[in-house]
Amino acid sequence: MLLTLLIRALTNVNCSDIHLSTSHHKKWFAVWSMSKYLMENEEESLRLEMKTENRITEQQAKWAGLKPGMRVADIGCGTGKTTAHLHHMVQPSGEAVGIDSSQERIEYAKENYGHTGTRFSCHDISAPLDSIGKFDFIWVRFFLEYHRSKSFDIVKSLTEILKPGGILCLIDLDYNCMNHYGQSKRLKKALKEVIELLEKNADFDPYIGIKLYSYLYDQDYENINVHLSSHHLIYGELNETDSFNWTTKVEVAGKNSGYGFEEYDGGYEEFFEEFKNFFNDPRRFTYTPIISCRGVKPSS
Ligand SMILES: C[S@@+](CC[C@H](N)C(=O)[O-])C[C@H]1O[C@@H](n2cnc3c(N)ncnc32)[C@H](O)[C@@H]1O
């Protein structure tokens, strides 16, 4: 019991779906590192709220085929802002359910978006999904990137809870956080090493975007469509949202990676200072491709 409480405190994962018996105690660190959400920090809800734009969600969901009356699942719903907008789009008579393993974000979602009629459930997607019912449309945006080793299996298990004829919409980034021009050689090296460590140790997938089409293809989805555009396209003066988003991303990822920052005499602190200066410089050029894939589950 004590062990379970400790793990919950460390991971900020507090769902009833997680049960660890003492017989598993030797594996607790492995469980912790695989279940911990890479971006976990006390300002994560604020970061997600700031960077999420209903206008973009609406464009992507319409493109994917979201229609009034549908029952929608939003996998890894974060603060619920996106779920509430999807809920709004399926009215009248539709319903959106936001699912996230963070008790804290589910509480935030209920408090801030519960009044809209949107439903929220604290659930770890790696656990069995039978209890959440079947859906006409499943939305998976900025989620698979945190589950490199399990992403294909997650898509497989989501297919199980999609009704025949239902739509699966996968949206994620490619070369995530990797395309910058204008940084010093040592900053470029440090950022590359941080990402490589996160791939190995935190199950992060900076190249998930390019895989999405094959995930739908391999599961026999029909009428697959793909859309490619830029998620970040940053040049010139930095706006407040990009500044907060990127500073938090690099700070949290840099610390969580466990990288030593040997290029810097002042270690992590000096690295982070250099990153902020580079990113604030209007000469910097940064972009991240976003790939959206949607397909229809065969009826038979
Ligand atoms: C980047 S946020 C998602 C943003 C949101 N989907 C959107 O489109 O704006 C990723 C979310 O996935 C959740 N998450 C990570 N692993 C999870 C898991 N195994 N089961 C459920 N939720 C998970 C995190 O708690 C976090 O809130």
The pTM of the full predicted model, rounded to 2 decimals, is 0.89
Both 161 and 29 in one domain: the answer is no
Both 65 and 92 in one domain: the answer is yes
Atom of ligand 1 nearest to the CA of 100: 22
Q: Are 109 and 83 in contact (CB under 8 A)?
A: yes
pLDDT at residue number 17 = 38
Both 11 and 90 in one domain: the answer is no
Is 164 within a domain? Answer: yes
**227 C-alpha to ligand 1 centroid (Å):** 22
Q: Answer yes or no: is the C-beta of 102 below 6 A from any ligand 1 atom.
A: yes
**Token pair for 297:** 């589950």
Is 47 within a domain? Answer: no
CATH at residue 150: 3.40.50.150
Q: Answer yes or no: is the C-beta of 36 below 6 A from any ligand 1 atom.
A: no
Q: Nearest 5°: CA angle at 59, between 56 and 63? A: 140
Q: How far is CA 192 from CA 108, 145, 198, 284, in A?
A: 34, 17, 10, 17
Is 21 within a domain? Answer: yes
H helices of 133-266, where? Answer: 151-160, 185-201, 212-218, 240-257
Both 31 and 157 in one domain: the answer is no
Is 196 within a domain? Answer: no
Atom of ligand 1 nearest to the CA of 52: 9
Paired sense of beta strands 222-234 and 135-141, if any: unpaired
Q: Answer yes or no: is the C-beta of 278 below 6 A from any ligand 1 atom.
A: no
Q: List the residue whose alpha carbon is closest to atom 5 of ligand 1.
A: 77
**Token pair for 154:** 């997650």
Is 238 within a domain? Answer: no
Q: Answer yes or no: is the C-beta of 141 below 6 A from any ligand 1 atom.
A: yes
Query: Which range marks the domain in which residue 31 is found?
Result: 2-35
Is 123 within a domain? Answer: yes
Q: 233 - beta bridge partners?
A: 287
Q: What is the mean pLDDT of the chain?
A: 89
Both 25 and 164 in one domain: the answer is no
Query: Pocket of ligand 1, candidates 11, 146, 249: which has the most ligand atoms within 8 Å of its Cβ, to mutate?
Result: 146
Q: Answer yes or no: is the C-beta of 108 below 6 A from any ligand 1 atom.
A: no
pLDDT at residue number 9 = 38
Query: Percent of the chain having pLDDT more than 70?
Result: 88
pLDDT at residue number 212 = 98
Q: Answer yes or no: is the C-beta of 37 below 6 A from any ligand 1 atom.
A: yes
Both 22 and 153 in one domain: the answer is no
**CA-CA distance, 80 to 19, in Å (whole number)?**
25
Give per-residue pLDDT as tens, 169-186: 999 999 999 999 999 999
Sign of CA dihedral 244, 248, 254, 257: negative
pLDDT at residue number 256 = 87
pLDDT at residue number 35 = 54
Measured torsion, CA atoms of residues 18, 41, 143, 260, in degrees rounded to the nearest 10: -110
Neighbour count for residue 296 (Cβ, 10 Å): 18
Query: Pocket of ligand 1, candidates 53, 143, 170, 176: which has the most ligand atoms within 8 Å of its Cβ, to mutate?
Result: 143
pLDDT at residue number 36 = 83
Q: Answer yes or no: is the C-beta of 105 below 6 A from any ligand 1 atom.
A: yes
How many Å separate Cα 127 from the centre of its chain? 17
**CA-CA distance, 239 to 138, in Å (whole number)?**
32
**122 C-alpha to ligand 1 centroid (Å):** 11
Give per-residue pLDDT as tens, 195-251: 999 999 999 999 999 999 999 999 999 999 999 999 999 999 999 999 999 999 999
| pLDDT lower than 50: segments of the chain | 1-34
Q: 285 - beta bridge partners?
A: 181
**CA-CA distance, 167 to 73, in Å (whole number)?**
11
Q: Cβ contacts of residue 155 below 8 Å, gap of 6+?
A: 140, 144, 168, 170, 215, 216, 219
**CA-CA distance, 39 to 43, in Å (whole number)?**
10
